[in-house]
Amino acid sequence: MSSTEAIHIVILLISSLLFSTGLSSLHPLVAHSAARHRNYTGISEFRLLNRRSLLKCPDANPYLKISVRANSSLSDDEYVTVNVSGVLSPSKSDWVAMITPSNSDVSACPLNKAQYVQTGDLSDLPLLCHYPVKAQYLRNDPDYLNCGKQECKKSNDNGTCLVATCSGSLSFHVVNFRTDIEFVLFTGGFLTPCILKRTDAISFANPKQPLYAHLNSIDSTGTSFRVSSVVSARVIVDNKIVVNCIQSPAAEDSDPQTTMKKTVELMRASWISGDGEAQQVQYGDGKSETSQVATFSQDDMCSKAIPSPAKDFGWHDPGYIHSAVLTGLQPSTSYSYKFGRDYIDSGSIYGTPDSGGECGVAYETYFPMPTPAKDKPWYSIEQGSIHFTVISTEHDWTETSEQYQWMKSDMASVDRSKTPWLVFMGHRPMYTSSTGVFSVDKRFQNAVEPLLLDNKVDLALFGHVHNYERTCSVYQSECKAFPVKDQDRVDVYDHSNYSAPVQAVIGMAGFTLDGFPDNVQDWSLVRISKFGYLRGHATRNELKLEFVDSRKKAVEDSFRITK
C-alpha cells in the first residue's frame, strides 16, 4: 500500500489538546524563569519583548528616518518594504518592529504583573503594555552593517563629504489584521530596546474582506466528507474566496461497501470577515448556504477585580467568524466555493486561572466543533479507520455527569468492524512522571480509566504537561502488557490480544518544557523533554505514531499498534 492510499492523521500539538482553563502546574520553576522564558517556543529573544521597558532613545541624529514603501492602503496579503535612512553608525542591535493597532502602548506597565499571574506567569520582570507582532534586525539587509548604501548629508565648499549616512531596507509579510499597523525603529536589540523613530499609521484597503477560509468535517456519524486526504487552494475572485477541494480515493484495504456509505455529504466552511452581516457561500451547481455569524468582545472575557490579560493588553478585535454547512457533496469531485457577503465563568472543576481570561470564548467561536452545546466541549469525529473521542477534563467527568454518560455512550456505539481504531483524547493526563500539584487527578483516573478498558481504547492522548511520555499497555498504574521490538527496533503493541490502552502525554509544543525526575514508575517507557509534534499513519490493521523533534525534524520516538 502506498502512503497516499492510506489514511494519514496529523495531531497538531498546542500545549492543550482542548481549550483549557489551566496551565501545567504553577511550580516554582516558573517563578525563576528569566532564563527559561527563552525556551517558551525555542525561538529567540524576541519572545522576551513583553519583558522589556521600551523607552525612547536619547538620540540627537537629525538625519534619521523610517519610511514605508507601500500603497496608501494595504491589500489583504502583501510584502511591505520598510526603509531606514540617515543612520550615522549602523549597529547589529538595530531592528524594526511591526505593531498593530498603531496606537498600541509600548511603554512599561508594572501593574500588569497581576494580569500575567492569571496566565500562570509569575516572573518578576518588566512588563510591556503591548508588544510587536513581528520584528527583524536591520542586519538582515546585507548592505546595512558595512554601509553599502551610503548618502552624503553634509559637504564643505570643496565638495568633500563631511557627514555620510547609511541606510537599510527590510521586507515584511503583512496580512489583513483589520486594524491599522505601524513600523517602529529600535536600537539596543531585543534585550535592551529603545525607540528611535515611528512611521505613520497604515490602514488596510478593505478591513471587511472575507478571508482565511478553512473546511472541516462536522460530526462522527461516518457520513461526513472525509477530509484527511483533501487538497485545497485559495484565490480571491470578485471579493470572494474560491477553494478547490478534491478527495483522494479510499485506501485499498478499506471495505468498498463501507466506503460508499461514508462518502457523502457534509462539510463546514468557515471564514473570517470584518462584516457582521450574514454572508453566503456558493458552491457546486448553483447551490448556496447562508452563514451563521459569531464574534466575541472584551466584555465576554473573564475578569475579576483586576482586568484579565484577554480583556486588557492581550485583546485584539477578532472580527466576525462565519460558518455554513455544505450538503450533497460527492467523493472524488472538485468543487469551487465562494465566500462573501454566553458562558463566562462557566465553572471549571479546577480553580486555576482561565487562559488569561479567555474563558474558552475565543476557542469555541473560532472553531465550531460537533459539541452538544456551548460550554460542552466534548465531541467525537471519525476519520477513515479511526474514531476520536475527545473530552474536556476541565468539565465534570464524574459518573453522574452529563459528560461521563456521553463518553460512555459514544465509545460503546463505535462499530469496530468498520472503524477498528478508538483513540481517546483529553487535556489533563492520567499518567505522567512529571511532578506538579495539578499534573494528575486520581479522581479523574479512577472515574474514567475503567471506561477506556471496557471499550478497548487503543490509544489515549493527553497534554497539560509540557513534554513527551509513552507508557506500556497500562491500567490502574500496572503494566498489563509490554510492546516488543520489530526488526527496525520499533516498539509494537499487539492489540489482537488486547490488554489495556497505550497512553501518551504529547504536550511538547509550547511554553517551557517540563523535565522528569530521576526515579520513574515501571509503566513509563519513553520520556523526552524536547519541543515537537506527533504524527500518525493508520490502516485497518496498523496504527503507527512518531514523535518528531521540531528543531531537527528527526524522529525521536516511534511505535506501532497492530491488530
Give one DSSP letter per residue of 189-234, joined into a string: TTTS-EEEEEPPPBEES-TT--EEEEEE---SSS-BPP-TT-EEEE
Question: Please, are residues 510 and 24 in contact by the beta-carbon 8 Å criterion?
Answer: no
Residue 437: other Cβ atoms inside 10 A:
9
- Shared domain check, 230 and 191: no
362 within some domain: no
Closest CA to 424 of 412, 434, 436: 412
CA gap 472, 420 in Å, rounded: 20
What letter does residue 128 receive in the DSSP assignment? B
Residue 245 lies in a domain: yes
Which of 157, 187, 204 is the endpoint of a domain? Answer: 204
Boundary of a domain, candidates 152, 180, 204? 204
Structural domain harbouring 544: 1-18+377-563
Q: Is residue 255 part of a domain?
A: yes
Examine the domain organization and report whether 410 and 558 are in the same domain: yes
361, part of any domain = no
Sign (positive or negative) of CA dihedral 215, 221, 222, 224: negative
Residue-wise pLDDT tens digits, 59-98 = 779 999 999 976 678 999 899 999 999 999 999 999 999 9
342 with 424, same domain: the answer is no
Q: What pLDDT score does 456 carry?
A: 98
- Displacement of CA 486 from its chain's centroid (Å): 34
Q: How far apart are the first and last CA of the chain?
A: 17
Q: What is the reported pLDDT for 213?
A: 84
Angle between helices 402-412 and 442-454 (to 10 degrees): 20
Residue 257 is assigned to a structural domain of this protein: yes
Query: Are residues 278 and 413 part of one domain?
Result: no
**Would you say the C-alpha torsion 538, 544, 548, 554 has a positive or negative sign?**
negative
Cα torsion 74, 80, 84, 90 to 10°: value is 150
Task: Read off the C-alpha cell for 341.
Answer: 457577503
- Asked whether residue 363 is assigned to any structural domain, the reply reads no
For 466, the 3-state DSSP assignment is coil
CA atoms within 13 A of residue 93's CA, in its CB half-sphere: 11
- 81 forms bridges with which residues in the sheet? 69, 171
Task: Give yes or no: residues 62 and 149 share one domain.
Answer: yes
Residues 433 and 471 in one domain: yes
DSSP state of 316: -
pLDDT in tens, 494-518: 999 999 999 999 999 877 888 999 9
Provide the CATH number for the domain around residue 337. 2.60.40
The answer on 407 and 520 residing in a single domain is: yes
CATH number of 477's domain = 3.60.21.10
- Measured between alpha carbons, how far is 179 from 497 in angstroms, rounded to an integer? 58
- Pairing type for strands 491-494 and 555-562 reads parallel
The total of structural domains in the chain comes to 3
Question: Residue 335 belongs to what H/E stretch?
Answer: strand 335-340
Q: Which three cell numbers stand for residue 2?
A: 502506498
Residues 66 and 200 reside in one and the same domain = yes
Examine the domain organization and report whether 227 and 302 are in the same domain.
Answer: yes
**Within-domain flag for 366:** no
Low-confidence ranges of the chain (pLDDT < 70): 1-54, 70-71, 101-131, 219-265, 304-307, 309, 312-313, 339-359, 374, 437-438
Same domain as 296, residue 241: yes
Question: In whole angstroms, what is the distance from residue 48 CA to residue 51 CA?
Answer: 5
Residue type, 400: T
- Helix, strand and coil content of the chain, in percent to the nearest 5, comes to 15, 35, 50
d(CA 469, CA 473): 13
* H or E element that contains 114: helix 113-117
Give 435's DSSP letter.
-
Which residue in 214, 274, 217 sits closest to 76, CA to CA?
Answer: 274
Residue 537 lies in a domain: yes
With beta carbons less than 8 A apart as the criterion, state whether 79 and 174 touch. Answer: yes
Same domain membership, residue 479 and residue 412:
yes
Last residue of one domain, picked from the residues 184, 204, 224: 204
Strands 231-237 vs 240-246: parallel, antiparallel or unpaired: antiparallel
- Looking at the structure, tell me whether residues 442 and 396 fall in a common domain: yes
Instruction: Look at phi and psi of residue 239 and say left if phi exceeds 0, alpha if psi is from -120 to 50, else beta.
Output: left
Q: Please give the C-alpha separations between residue 340 and each of 58, 271, 293, in angstroms, as whole numbers.
A: 49, 9, 12
Q: What is the CB-side half-sphere exposure of residue 474 using CA atoms within 13 A?
A: 21
Look at residues 445, 350, 448, 456 and name the one whose alpha carbon lies nearest to residue 399.
448
